[in-house]
Chains A and B, each alone.
Chain A
Amino acid sequence: MTSVTHSSTDPRTVQLTEDGKLRHFLTIGGLNKAILEEILDTADSFVNMGEQSVKKVPLLRGKTVVNLFFENSTRTRSTFELAAKRLSADVLNLDISKSATAKGETLKDTLQNLEAMGSDMFVIRHADSGAQHFIASQVTPNVAIINAGDGRHAHPTQAMLDMYTIRKHKGDFSKLKVAIVGDILHSRVARSQVQALNMLGAQEVRLIGPKTLLPATFAEMGAKLYTRMEDGLKDVDVVIMLRLQKERMDGALLPSEGEFYRLYGLTTEKLNYARPDAIVMHPGPINRGVEIESAVADGPQSLILNQVSYGIAIRMAVMSMAISGQTQQKVQQQLSAQQSEDDNEEASA
């Protein structure tokens, strides 16, 4: 067994090269404002590229990107696939049922086989929090890993496309109050959003929901917690609604869809608590009449469709940055290996 030292799994370093460049994109935590801004700026270039008649660039030509979805999500997978193809990468889609890879050993075998076939990047969605972290730190550290959602932990590309949407439509984060509403407890999107908003210097991050879906520990992530929409939405510039999973309705978390919608559903009336120019976002897919009213989802303040189009640009940005970082790291490792070989030769000569 290769020894598992603390540093190899340190969340602050595993995503970055020795010179602080992105080589895996696993979570917002442990990154810094400069890297987040670089992602947003790079995505800007790709959004602008959308004006061109040729939407494809050869940045990742000859690279192989494997979409590994251990949880089904055609939507998210499609945006990653499109992003990879616009960068001219070869794309392989693998849907792997969880049962086939229940044991860690099988997962390791599968991934190391894919690495041996010359994969340069894995885009991974997995039901276990930390799965991508485990893969990046212990299974295939030389393949760039992009987290497309892990358990309840993180969905960093979704958070970054939301940050892009906010910056594009609202500008300077330091003047913004942002509220995230709904099932915070189970939401990887919310966790990544809170971290990204704080890192980018948002004036205030608020979380709104009933206490069953909003544990007090979220305060320590840098958010103010509210249980009433009336208080939480007051004067906010951005309202982000989260999707409420239907299967959560039956448990002891919520009494009924109806009561949830009455208390936390975003209606035109409740949106009035926010600033008049507030924007409304949702990571999709929307449950109309459960977390948001159709009139709001399709209304003038909604940016839900814009988010989707920015999603491709954000994923292109993150993919090209990670491949670049990973390649630089490899070149550096080869150089230093060469160097030590030379030193040894000199020493033995």
Chain B
Amino acid sequence: MKLTICGGRLIDPAQQLDEVIDIHIADGRVLALGQAPAGFTPERTLHAEGLVVAPGFIDIGAHLREPGPSYKGNLRSETKAALAGGYTSICCRPDTSPCIDSSAVVQQILDKAEALGQAKVRPIGAMTKGLEGTHLSNMAGLQHSGCVAVTNMRNAIDNTLVLRRCFEYASTFDLRVVFYPEDSWLKGEGCVNEGALATRLGLASVPAAAEAIGLSRVLHLIENTGVKVHFGMLSTARAVEMIANAQKRGLAVTADVDIAHLIYTEKEIDGYNSQFFVEPPLRSAADREALRQGVRDGVLSAISSAHLPHEEAAKMAPFAAAEPGMATLETVLAQGLSLVEQEIISLPQLVERLSTGPAKALGLNSGSLSIGQAADICLFKTDQTWTVQHGELFSAGENYPQKGETLSGQVMFTLVDGRVVFER
């Protein structure tokens, strides 16, 4: 399949490109930029005037709900949602049911994803058996069968020696660890940020210190073991500062923040709106400001979706009894563009944090449109307005807190390996 995308504004942070330029694709790869090579005749031409042409987005840690209860979603619905959101690769989280702690489960997911031919799925495996935090998983086997990293999600590894051994073992195979720092004791039953609002609402809270202490413990072990760690879904100013210092000291650490923490603050939970119950909890305005600054100056090199789809009933409960999480895959771009609109970050920065940034953080050879790279591309229109509602969304998740709101910015085409797999 030969294809040309012409007239679009190509933004490829990896090549520091931001200009109106044609892109020619053959055999699933980028063949040329600008002038078509002699004798190149595209079978299809996408006219991209007024569109941004960017490397397909890559997500660290979306939940694709398979294997697991299908009423919350499945690979078909969620990888379709990914394409609609501009994502071409999803590094999915392992807390499925059963969890991704064996090659069999990895193979099952990869086979299904390949058969679907939608977004690419690159599983993140469980770092301990059953994510229970006590026994190492078969990390080498997981890596061999296709896991791009391992993680223990937010499940505590209370024994620091076990954690150190996890790191030592992972680093043996140069396997990256994705870590969600949180002190489980300080978190306890907490479901909202510690502060005046939590006090007034009478909800159990998680102090910012829970994240800092969890992070600090891991930073020390990284120095000991030399493991490559990516910190996911940071939520506090203090954590951003600690990551910046660690990077300054030359530690091989990267970090991301999820979209919800860049957009919202704890204020949203006033009124017990369980749609805003997420883990880690939404924090203060000062924390959000520090996270935005971190994205701007690159301390946080990726923006993650933290996509966690739920059926309607999961949120129909008193706040703390509801299930945490937000469905986000299809709103990340529009919400990111709102940050561009407010001049908090630039458009190339947004593209970088959604594609090249996460690719580098997990050591993936993707996230760029250089010649010879896989043609994983998304084309979006920054001023396309749309309303978040049933029928517009492909995810099985009903937990989009923006339902009914009109957003600006929508994906028009998504290409995976040079094939147009989604168009609106």
Interface residues of A (CB under 8 A from B): 1, 3-6, 9-11, 14, 29, 102-105, 107-108, 126, 128-131, 133-134, 137-139, 150-154, 188, 191, 215, 217-218, 220-221
CB distance from A212 to the nearest CB of B (A): 14
* Cα distance A317–B412 in the bound complex, in angstroms: 59
Find chain B residues with CB under 8 A from A29 CB.
Answer: 200
Q: B318 near A104 (CB under 8 angstroms)?
A: yes
Q: Please name the residue on chain B nearest to A151 by beta carbon.
A: B202
* Cα distance A126–B320 in the bound complex, in angstroms: 12
* Cα distance A14–B270 in the bound complex, in angstroms: 12
Q: Which of B202, B315, B389 is A153 in contact with, Cβ under 8 Å?
A: B202
Q: Which of B272, B312, B316, B403 is A130 in contact with, Cβ under 8 Å?
A: B272
* Cα distance A252–B204 in the bound complex, in angstroms: 16
B420 within 8 A of A: no
Q: Which of B195, B199, B271, B313 is A11 in contact with, Cβ under 8 Å?
A: B271
B319 within 8 A of A: yes
Since A128-B317, A133-B272, A153-B202 are in contact, a sample of 8 more A-B pairs with Cβ atoms closer than 8 Å, ordered by chain A residue number, is A3-B403, A128-B320, A129-B320, A130-B318, A137-B271, A139-B316, A191-B199, A221-B199
Q: B202 near A129 (CB under 8 angstroms)?
A: yes
Q: A218 near B199 (CB under 8 angstroms)?
A: yes
Q: B271 near A9 (CB under 8 angstroms)?
A: yes
Q: A6 near B196 (CB under 8 angstroms)?
A: no
* Cα distance A154–B194 in the bound complex, in angstroms: 18
Q: A104 near B322 (CB under 8 angstroms)?
A: yes
Find chain A residues with CB under 8 A from B204 CB.
Answer: 152
CB distance from A104 to the nearest CB of B (A): 3
CB distance from B65 to the nearest CB of A (A): 18
Q: A220 near B196 (CB under 8 angstroms)?
A: yes
Q: Please name the residue on chain B nearest to A195 by beta carbon.
A: B200
Q: What number of B residues sit within 8 Å (CB to CB) of A?
A: 33
CB distance from B390 to the nearest CB of A (A): 8
Interface centre among B270, B271, B314 (most CB of A within 10 A): B271
Find chain B residues with CB under 8 A from A108 CB.
Answer: 316
Tell whether A133 pairs with B321 under 8 Å between CB atoms, given A104-B316, A150-B202, A153-B202: no
Q: Which of B194, B313, B404 is A3 in contact with, Cβ under 8 Å?
A: B404
Q: A133 near B271 (CB under 8 angstroms)?
A: yes
Q: A104 near B313 (CB under 8 angstroms)?
A: yes
Q: A14 near B318 (CB under 8 angstroms)?
A: no
CB distance from B235 to the nearest CB of A (A): 18
Q: Please name the residue on chain B nearest to A191 by beta carbon.
A: B202
Find chain A residues with CB under 8 A from B270 CB.
Answer: 11
* Cα distance A169–B305 in the bound complex, in angstroms: 58
CB distance from A106 to the nearest CB of B (A): 9
* Cα distance A138–B312 in the bound complex, in angstroms: 12
| Residue interface mask B173-199, A partner, CB < 8 A = 1 | 000000000000000000000111011
B201 within 8 A of A: yes
Q: B273 near A4 (CB under 8 angstroms)?
A: yes
Find chain A residues with CB under 8 A from B390 CB.
Answer: 1
Find chain B residues with CB under 8 A from A134 CB.
Answer: 272, 274, 317-319
Q: B313 near A6 (CB under 8 angstroms)?
A: no
Q: B404 near A14 (CB under 8 angstroms)?
A: no
Find chain B residues with CB under 8 A from A130 CB.
Answer: 201-203, 272, 318-320
Tell whether A105 pairs with B313 under 8 Å between CB atoms, given A128-B319, A151-B202, A191-B202: yes
Find chain B residues with CB under 8 A from A188 CB.
Answer: 202
Find chain B residues with CB under 8 A from A104 CB.
Answer: 313-318, 321-322
B111-146 contacts to A, CB under 8 A, are: none
List the 9 shortest-distance A-B pairs measured between CB atoms, nearest first.
A104-B317, A153-B202, A152-B202, A130-B272, A220-B196, A128-B318, A131-B318, A129-B202, A9-B271
* Cα distance A55–B398 in the bound complex, in angstroms: 51
Interface centre among B194, B202, B403 (most CB of A within 10 A): B202
Q: B201 near A1 (CB under 8 angstroms)?
A: no
Find chain A residues with CB under 8 A from B196 CB.
Answer: 217, 220-221
* Cα distance A91–B355 in the bound complex, in angstroms: 61
| Residue interface mask B314-334, A partner, CB < 8 A = 1 | 111111111000000000000
Q: Please name the residue on chain A nearest to B270 by beta carbon.
A: A11
CB distance from A271 to the nearest CB of B (A): 28
* Cα distance A192–B9 in the bound complex, in angstroms: 57
Q: Which of A5, A126, A151, A221 is B200 in contact with, Cβ under 8 Å?
A: A221
B74 within 8 A of A: no
B401 within 8 A of A: yes
Find chain B residues with CB under 8 A from A220 CB.
Answer: 196, 199-200
List 21 A–B pairs whose Cβ atoms lie within 8 Å, in order of A's numbering.
A1-B390, A4-B273, A6-B273, A11-B270, A11-B271, A103-B317, A104-B314, A104-B321, A108-B316, A128-B317, A128-B318, A129-B203, A129-B318, A129-B319, A130-B320, A131-B318, A134-B274, A134-B319, A153-B201, A215-B199, A217-B199
B4 within 8 A of A: no
| Residue interface mask B269-282, A partner, CB < 8 A = 1 | 01111110000000
Q: Please name the residue on chain A nearest to B316 by beta carbon.
A: A104
CB distance from A53 to the nearest CB of B (A): 42
Find chain B residues with CB under 8 A from A128 CB.
Answer: 317-321
CB distance from B274 to the nearest CB of A (A): 7
Find chain B residues with CB under 8 A from A126 CB.
Answer: 318
Q: A14 near B271 (CB under 8 angstroms)?
A: yes
CB distance from B10 to the nearest CB of A (A): 37
* Cα distance A29–B272 in the bound complex, in angstroms: 13
Find chain B residues with CB under 8 A from A191 CB.
Answer: 199-200, 202
Find chain A residues with CB under 8 A from B195 CB.
Answer: 217
CB distance from B323 to the nearest CB of A (A): 9
Q: Please name the residue on chain A nearest to B390 by beta carbon.
A: A1
Find chain A residues with CB under 8 A from B322 CB.
Answer: 104
Find chain A residues with CB under 8 A from B312 CB.
Answer: 1
Q: B202 near A9 (CB under 8 angstroms)?
A: no
* Cα distance A103–B322 in the bound complex, in angstroms: 8
* Cα distance A3–B204 in the bound complex, in angstroms: 27
